[in-house]
Amino acid sequence: MDRLQAKMIELDLVEKGVLEKLIFEEAFENILQECRDLALPNVITDVLKYLIQHKLVVAKYPTETKKSKPGFMYDSDRMKDYTYQATAKGIRHLS
C-alpha cells in the first residue's frame, strides 16, 4: 500500500454523494437542495462539516467580485454565509 492509499479515509454513500456535488463551487442552499434525496438537511450539514474537517472540502467566503476566497476559518453556525468546493484531496476520494 503506498502513502496515498494509506491516507485515504472511507466515505459512506451520503458523504460521497455530497462530495460529488461539490466539483464546482456551490452555495449551501444549493447543496441542501441537490442532496435532499440522500439525507435530511441536518445530516447533510453534519456531513459537510465532516468533509471540511478532513480537508476534502473548503469553505469559501464570497466577496464583492465574482471570485470567492478560501476562508482561513469558517463559522459552522453560519453555514449559509459560505460557498463550498471539493479540494484536490476530496476529488481523489471520488475515484
pTM of the model: 0.84
At 36-75, the pLDDT tens digits run 999 999 999 999 999 999 999 999 987 666 666 666 677 8
Average pLDDT, the chain: 86
- The pLDDT of residue 9: 78
CA 60 to chain centre: 10
Say whether 1 sits in a helix, a strand or coil.
coil
Nearest to 82 by CA among 91, 92, 72, 90: 72
- What is the CATH architecture assignment of 12-92? Orthogonal Bundle (1.10)
- For residues 89 and 81, what is the distance between their CA atoms, to the nearest angstrom? 23
Q: pLDDT over 90 for what percent of the chain?
A: 64
Tell me the three cell numbers of residue 29.
Answer: 442552499
Q: Where are the domains of the chain?
A: 12-92
